[in-house]
Amino acid sequence: MKRSLLLLFLLCLLPTGAGAAALDPIACPAPEAADVSIRTQRVQDESWLFLPAWTDLEELVLEFPGETACCAGPDGEAVLTSGEPFDLTALFSEPPADGVYPLTFSQGDDTRSVRLMRSENLPALYLCSANPQQDRAFVEAEKGNKAKGSALFLDTDGTVLYHGGLKQIKGRGNSTWTYPKKPYQIKLEEDADLMGCDEPAGTWVLLANYCDDTLLHNRVTYDLALAMGMAESPHCRPVDLYYDGEYRGSYLLSEKTEVGEHRLEIQDLEPAIADANPGVEDLDALPLRATRTPAGHPAQYVGRLTAPKDLRGGYLLELDFPSRAKREKSWFSTAAGKYLVVKSPEYLPREGIDYISQRWQEFEDALLAGGADCGRYMDLHSLAQGYLLEELSQDPDAFQSSCYFYTDGKTDLLHAGPIWDFDSGYGSDGQEDPTGFTAAYTTLGRLLLASEDFRAEVRRCWAEEVYPLVRETFYPTQAPGLGRIVEQGMALAASQRMDQILWPKAAAQDYAAAVGAFRQRMLQRVQWLQDQFTHWETDLPAAFADVAADSWYGPQVAETAREGILSGTSESRFSPRRPLTRAMAVTALYRMAGSPEVQGPSGFSDVPEEAWYAGAVTWACEEGIAQGFRNGTFRPKDSVRREELLTFLYRYAEGTQGRQDAPPIPETFTDQADLSPWARDAMAWGVAQGLVQGTRQDTLCPRERTLRAQGAVLFHRFAAVLAKTPAP
């Protein structure tokens, strides 16, 4: 028999029909721990009580002021005695289809309405703050806030899985922290095996999965990785979370990506650094130093640290966006423009940054040289496995963020993993089409797929390891293993219904339909990938997802991106139909010039010093290529007109190759009168050089804005002009 649940009703003496918001809350002491309770919650002006799966509605125990109260449902009522069990289901002829039990409680003339729901199939985790001044509101006020507390973890039958103190409760995540449903990290006072897989640990994370209507994306991907043999991948299990007496939603309890026993079991360099610095107690008080890697790229390390003699590691690295990486302690950038954070050891001396950045740069240099030797520096099997999971999930952060690599400390070889963070994949980011590559369109992905060795390993890994497993996961078979996706989803259905009451989203659909759509999407995705990987010998992905290789601008976009002249608007998209801005135009020329060092700010009020184009604007104005406006602005976000762009190119050519003479513009161009006087020489030169070939019945269209596709073609032609006319 399931445990009974004690509910304490504190009914204020209010007139009948008075607002429920003025009533005191209902408290629900949980078994095994007197300091843990569940309270009613106000959600959209209604009182709700969300119960864990282990509660038995046929033996519900309520506590309330006074000896008796009346509880009424739609099909009956019962006189309740405080502290005595009663059968809630007897008030309903059948269980509510939506899982909501609407109840009315009364004592004399005083009444209160409560809507009750109960979860199914999931264990429940209760977090309790040790200090009322550092409660959930305090933790959620700022991600860096930390609190202490206790935890009670109960299985679906009420069995205690963990009961003890918490050294720390804090928020976590980057973009996920900005959502209403907050993710958390907890540290137990004593290591415990919360997964039931004989891997006790102290630090655990609670993933909110706010963007994932199915609540399955991370769980499915982590389970796939483990089934593929990626042993360092996180174990996880769904739970119902309660924090300081309130239900917080359906979460995924997961192992944290970190170095340690039962996690990423590599050599830990942090003790060696501590031994080399016996007098340093407060690492956070040490200064952060800017430097450059041995290859000459920006990096940062922790100053005043003595390096240990052996620097081989291990190291845990995270590929991340530059803005995020630069907020961390130790990081470095690379020739391909990637930024990697050293997650472990977090406090790294300069010698350590030099060592690990050089290991990565050797791998990247091999890719830039065609990839023939990249297997000497990176374990291609783990990299192929990680790549395939990124493609399978259509992860928008693929090879950009939350992407981990490590060295084990035994050799210099890099490994990909552990995998992490897929809740925004599988179409959650608005990607409706289940076809098309994702990771292949990133900077790193394009370099990898140029390697025949990597493509061969991807094809082998897909055929032998991944394809059989994903068929087992998403296809309607009776095969054992990961289990069918619909069955996994239905086990979450009751918990998901409660979660949606607390965290409603306008676009959310029926849960069964969402799970079915997820499965159907993946059937299409798997088949598309299967078709693609059989044709990789001759048919590689294009440079960008939104640029067809056979389009009129496709080859030029690919070439200018490869040369680093005009990059995409993201790792995977070029946005050919978007306007080319003045900032983009001068940045492309700045890169063609080799990105020379500039001194001081641009002097324009609308060009912040930290802007990605600030150096290019300063350089372009110093070289006389571009000019600002009389009001002291540069207007970097304005679309660049065709005559403006030709003038930039013309001035660049004169600055590098001397005077550029050209014959008059042929009279066949009928709109020459639209040219600004200052742009006439530049346009004549552009026509003579074949840069401008006219549009729509021999018109120059000088005042029209330039699209990014047109800009790529123009810069490609311009590079050819410079190549055939060497500088004096």
Q: Indicate if the pLDDT at residue 206 is higher than 50.
A: yes
What is the band of 726 on the pLDDT scale with cuts at 50, 70, 90? low
Mean pLDDT of 539-563: 77
Measured distance CA(319)–CA(442) in Å, rounded:
12
Q: Indicate if the pLDDT at residue 34 is higher than 60.
A: no
User: What is the overall mean pLDDT for the chain?
Assistant: 87
SS3 for 487? helix
Measured distance CA(39)–CA(47) in Å, rounded:
10
Report the pLDDT value the prediction gives residue 560, as an integer from 0 to 100: 86
Q: Indicate if the pLDDT at residue 535 is higher than 80.
A: no
What is the band of 337 on the pLDDT scale with cuts at 50, 70, 90? confident
Mean pLDDT of 308-313: 92
Mean pLDDT of 703-721: 90
Measured distance CA(501)–CA(480) in Å, rounded:
34
Report the pLDDT value the prediction gives residue 482, as an integer from 0 to 100: 45
pLDDT tens digits, one per residue of 387-433? 999 999 999 899 989 999 999 999 999 999 999 999 999 988 777 78
SS3 for 572? coil
Report the pLDDT value the prediction gives residue 155, as an integer from 0 to 100: 94
Which strands make up the sheet holding 331-333, listed edge to edge? 288-292, 298-302, 331-333, 339-344, 315-320, 403-407, 415-416
Q: Indicate if the pLDDT at residue 66 is higher than 90.
A: no
* Number of Cβ within a 10 Å radius of residue 423: 25
Report the pLDDT value the prediction gives residue 81, as an integer from 0 to 100: 85
What is the band of 594 on the pLDDT scale with cuts at 50, 70, 90? confident
pLDDT tens digits, one per residue of 355-378? 999 999 999 999 988 888 999 999
> Residue 624: which residues within 8 A CB-CB, separation 6 or more?
651, 655
Measured distance CA(592)–CA(648) in Å, rounded:
13
Q: What percent of the chain has pLDDT over 70?
A: 91
What is the band of 5 on the pLDDT scale with cuts at 50, 70, 90? very low
Cis preceding-peptide flag for 370 (omega within 30 of 0): no
> Residue 668: which residues within 8 A CB-CB, separation 6 or more?
698
Report the pLDDT value the prediction gives residue 421, as an integer from 0 to 100: 93
CA distances from 571 to 209, 334, 568 (A): 24, 16, 6
* Number of Cβ within a 10 Å radius of residue 481: 12
SS3 for 703? coil
Measured distance CA(315)–CA(347) in Å, rounded:
11
Report the pLDDT value the prediction gives residue 27, as an integer from 0 to 100: 44
* Number of Cβ within a 10 Å radius of residue 271: 11
Per the model's pLDDT, the better-predicted residue between 107 and 50 turns out to be 50
Q: Indicate if the pLDDT at residue 599 is higher than 90.
A: no
Per the model's pLDDT, the better-predicted residue between 381 and 516 turns out to be 381
Report the pLDDT value the prediction gives residue 3, as an integer from 0 to 100: 42
Q: Indicate if the pLDDT at residue 705 is higher than 50.
A: yes
Return the CA Rg of the chain: 31
> Residue 284: which residues within 8 A CB-CB, separation 6 or more?
none
What is the band of 618 on the pLDDT scale with cuts at 50, 70, 90? very high
Q: Which of 533, 532, 468, 530 is nearest to 224 (CA)?
A: 468
Measured distance CA(398)–CA(414) in Å, rounded:
18
Q: Which of 140-149, 440-449, 493-502 has the least mean pLDDT?
A: 440-449
Two tokens, residue 205: 């994370």
Measured distance CA(154)–CA(164) in Å, rounded:
12
What is the band of 329 on the pLDDT scale with cuts at 50, 70, 90? very high
Per the model's pLDDT, the better-predicted residue between 384 and 450 turns out to be 384
Supply the DSSP symbol for 698. Answer: T
Give the burial class of 631: count Cβ atoms within 10 A of its Cβ; 0-12 exposed, 13-18 middle, 19 or more buried: exposed
Report the pLDDT value the prediction gives residue 309, as an integer from 0 to 100: 94
Q: Indicate if the pLDDT at residue 578 is higher than 60.
A: yes
Q: Indicate if the pLDDT at residue 508 is higher than 90.
A: no
* Number of Cβ within a 10 Å radius of residue 96: 14
SS3 for 463? helix
Report the pLDDT value the prediction gives residue 22, as an integer from 0 to 100: 30
What is the band of 617 on the pLDDT scale with cuts at 50, 70, 90? very high
Supply the DSSP symbol for 3. Answer: P
pLDDT tens digits, one per residue of 641-692? 999 999 999 999 888 877 787 788 887 787 787 888 888 898 888 888 888 8
* Number of Cβ within a 10 Å radius of residue 486: 15
Mean pLDDT of 327-349: 95
pTM value is 0.78
Q: Indicate if the pLDDT at residue 587 is higher than 90.
A: yes
Report the pLDDT value the prediction gives residue 716, as an integer from 0 to 100: 87
Q: Indicate if the pLDDT at residue 506 is higher than 70.
A: no
Measured distance CA(106)–CA(12) in Å, rounded:
11
Q: Which residues pair with 117 in a beta bridge?
A: 50
Measured distance CA(148)–CA(131) in Å, rounded:
7
Q: Indicate if the pLDDT at residue 72 is higher than 80.
A: yes
Mean pLDDT of 332-360: 95
SS3 for 591? helix
Helix spans in 310-439 (H): 322-325, 350-368, 380-393
Q: Which of 96-110, 227-241, 293-307, 531-545 has the least mean pLDDT?
A: 531-545
> Residue 633: which residues within 8 A CB-CB, separation 6 or more?
604, 605, 606
Mean pLDDT of 257-262: 94
Report the pLDDT value the prediction gives residue 479, as an integer from 0 to 100: 44
Q: What percent of the chain has pLDDT over 90?
A: 56
Angle of helix 511-533 relative to helix 380-393, nearest 10 degrees?
130
Mean pLDDT of 446-456: 89
